[in-house]
Amino acid sequence: MIPRATFICLLSVLLSVGSQTATKLKDVRTVFIGSFGDKPGAGSLRSHVVSEIEKSHILRIAKDVAQADAVLGGKGEVWVKEHYSLNPRSRSLDDAHTVYAGYLSVELQGKKDETLWSYLAPPHSAGENVDRDLARLVVRKLTDAIAAEAGH
């Protein structure tokens, strides 16, 4: 009888075989979105990247790694940069506007975990939508790179 832990490890290796089939960026049509880390805002960044990819109509989102041509993962974070008020006498945060900042670094890996493309969305400041802005930038750069390699 195979111990349960050994069985689970063996199963995960077998399931990963045949996934991530792309060897060139132009071959990528289906992407699995991996983790963007565990920092504040990483989950929101991931959700926005998924949404932007779905809107692009160039790539499809795979439900699991086995269905994907490539895996997009990375690290990202969003934080409060500052608060400002239009009233110079106000010291309260209740009526202040919040300015967020963040970054997103992504890597697209294809067959045998080979890096096909990577990008660091530079630290960015914005109102409440810095996560959406970073996701749009990353997806636009990715789809532009795929189109450029494909000759479109």
User: DSSP for the chain?
Assistant: ---HHHHHHHHHHHHHTT----SSGGG--EEEE----SSTTHHHHHHHHHHHHHHHSSSEE-SSGGG-SEEEEEEEEEEEEEEE-SSTT---STTPEEEEEEEEEEEEE-GGG-EEEEEEEEEEEESS-HHHHHHHHHHHHHHHHHHHHHT-
Q: What is the pLDDT of residue 14?
A: 37
Q: What is the pLDDT of residue 71?
A: 97
Lowest mean pLDDT among 53-57, 87-91, 107-111, 118-122: 87-91
Q: What is the pLDDT of residue 89?
A: 73
The pLDDT of residue 1 is above 80: no
Is pLDDT larger for residue 45 or for residue 90? 45
> pLDDT tens digits for 98-144?
888 999 999 999 999 999 999 999 877 776 789 999 999 999 999 99
The pLDDT of residue 11 is above 60: no
The pLDDT of residue 6 is above 60: no
Q: What is the pLDDT of residue 16?
A: 42
Spell out the domains of the chain, with CATH numbers in brackets.
Answer: 4-150 (3.30.160)
Q: What is the pLDDT of residue 38?
A: 96
